[in-house]
Amino acid sequence: MKSAVILFPGTNRERDMVAALKKVTDIEPVIVWHAETTLPGGLDLIVLPGGFSYGDYLRAGAISARSPIMRDVIRRAEAGVPVLGVCNGFQALCEAGLLPGVLMRNASLKFVCREVKLEIVNAETAFTHLYRPGQIIRCPVAHHDGNYFADKATLDRLEAENRVVFRYGQGTNPNGSQRDIAGIINAAGNVLGMMPHPEDLTDPLLGGIDGLALFESIATPAREKAA
Amino acid sequence: MKARIIVTLKQGVLDPQGQAIEGALAALGFYGVGSVRQGKIIDIELSDRTDAEARLTAMCEKLLANTVIEDYRVEMVD
């Protein structure tokens, strides 16, 4: 699987992401600086990792979503290349218009850094097909702006189209997200944004491997293509 | 020329920061505060007046405001 991880000024989770990707692929992930205008060819996955790009100035992810590389990210996404945005990456995907809604300041106003229960609501996506529908996994969150907001019509449509992929398990919503939404996918099914960090539970040394199946899910079709 | 962009949260969008300010005002003993909403002011100096209003509106739509949750207003200062 050929993957690229986008690096913005203030991104700080790219190394965890690269480590997780290396567990499922023999090809070294490429780190691409935000000021580049073109991504490498033949990518099977583009990742926007977590962090605090541009210090969350203006709005979280707002400025990185308008950086030069994002024009090519949007082009590739529209061409069907899988795109994963985690935490700050999810915020940037919403700001870039690749996903609906917005991540607002946590309702508690506090930065939350803890483990949550994450329900796999849709286990039929390219990112989650190795999980069971309804499976509850452990997953860490670490964010200040994870409070998912969209108007009622958008929320209803997301649910009707089975595009809510992850929900915070009962009683563990850490940020006030509407309808406990922790992650959503676009209509075409190739752009996924999520606040929790699956890359941080991919090795027993980290305390568990609950997040590994997400990366395995993405890597499987690429392996089949290569075989 | 100078312009001032005022960005506010849309009605109905929860504003925990505004609520926290409201609580702090009450704690200071200020009475009669119905509600507090927090917004942003962005001052922009333009070196070219051509189509100023249209350009400023485009800036708001493309970057300065997220119209999912925010309203904006453009004021020409001078």
What are B71's two structure tokens?
């309203």
Chain B residue numbers with beta carbons less than 8 Å from the beta carbon of A107 are 14, 16
Chain A residue numbers with beta carbons less than 8 Å from the beta carbon of B14 are 104, 107, 149, 176
Residues A58, B64: C-beta atoms closer than 8 Å: yes
The whole-angstrom distance between B16's CA and the closest CA on chain A is 6
Residue A27 near residue A2 (C-beta atoms within 8 A): yes
Q: For A138-152, what is the mean pLDDT? A: 96
Q: Provide the percentage of residues in chain A whose pLDDT is more than 70.
A: 98
Residues B13, A149: C-beta atoms closer than 8 Å: yes
- pLDDT score of A222 more than 80: no
Residues B17, A105: C-beta atoms closer than 8 Å: yes
pLDDT digits (tens, 9 = 90+) for A34-46: 999 999 999 999 9
- pLDDT score of A227 more than 70: no
Q: What is the pLDDT of residue A48?
A: 98
| Residue pointed to by tokens 């994002």 | A70
Q: What is the pLDDT of residue B78?
A: 80
Chain B residue numbers with beta carbons less than 8 Å from the beta carbon of A150 are 68
Q: What is the ipTM of this complex?
A: 0.86
- The helix (run of H) or strand (run of E) holding residue B8 is strand B2-9
Q: What is the pLDDT of residue A226?
A: 67
pLDDT tens-digit profile, chain B (78 residues): 999 999 999 998 989 899 999 999 999 999 999 999 999 999 999 999 999 999 999 999 999 999 999 999 999 988
For A108, name the nearest residue in chain B, comparing CA atoms only: B16
The whole-angstrom distance between A143's CA and the closest CA on chain B is 16
Helical spans, DSSP H, in chain A: 14-24, 68-78, 88-95, 152-160, 212-226
Residues of A marked as catalytic:
87, 197, 199
Q: Provide the percentage of residues in chain A whose pLDDT is more than 90.
A: 96
What are B61's two structure tokens?
């739509």
Q: For A102-128, what is the mean pLDDT? A: 96
Give the number of residues written for chain B: 78
List of domains in chain B? 2-76 (3.30.1280.10)
What is the domain range of residue A75?
3-226
Instruction: Report how far residue B38's alpha carbon sits from residue B40's, in angstroms, rounded to the nearest whole number.
Output: 7
As for how many domains chain A has, the answer is 1
Residue A39 has a CB neighbour count (10 Å cut-off) of: 18
- CB proximity B13 to A under 8 Å: yes
| Residue pointed to by tokens 């702090």 | B24
Residue A128 near residue A120 (C-beta atoms within 8 A): yes
Task: Report the C-alpha dihedral over residues B2, B6, B7, B11, rounded to 10 degrees.
Answer: -160
- What residues are paired with A6 via a beta bridge? A32
Q: What is the pLDDT of residue A224?
A: 76
Instruction: Report how far residue A87's alpha carbon sits from residue B40's, in angstroms, rounded to the nearest whole number.
Output: 24
- pLDDT score of A225 more than 90: no
The whole-angstrom distance between B22's CA and the closest CA on chain A is 14
CATH for A192: 3.40.50.880
The model's confidence at residue A221, banded by pLDDT at 50, 70 and 90, is confident
Instruction: Report how far residue A85's alpha carbon sits from residue A193's, in angstroms, rounded to the nearest whole number.
Output: 5
